[in-house]
Amino acid sequence: MGVAADLLGFLESELEAEVEDTGWKRGHGRKLAEPVLIRLESLELELSTDGSEVLIRRIGGSTDEFEDLCDLIVSQRLRE
């Protein structure tokens, strides 16, 4: 859950995204197995993890903006 929580924190603090709080901010709650809703400008996303992989799915907004966000996330190299 570490990198998923780091990513949610990055999206919320650095990009001013609106991130659903399921307990991840306090280091407990569900393990993000159920999708967490994220709103960032015109994008609407879901983030989930099974503990070994993090999945970000676009549920609304521009494909190009989503791909730009993915490129930005990869460039951050969070907790390698």
Residue-wise DSSP of 7-55:
HHHHHHHHS--EE--SSGGGT-SS-S-SPEEEEETTEEEEEEE-SS-EE
CA–CA distance, 79 with 21 (Å, rounded to integer): 21
Domain enclosing residue 71, as ranges: 2-76
Task: Count up the domains in the chain and report the number.
Answer: 1
The model's pLDDT over 20-78, given as tens digits with 9 standing for 90+, comes to 987 777 765 455 667 899 999 999 999 988 877 889 999 999 999 999 999 999 898 76
Containing 67, the helix (H) or strand (E) segment is helix 63-76
Cα atoms in the Cβ-side hemisphere of radius 13 Å centred on 61 = 18
C-alpha pair distances (Å), 30 with each of 2, 20, 54, 70, 76? 13, 12, 14, 24, 25
Q: How high does pLDDT run on average in the chain? A: 86
pTM for the structure as a whole: 0.82
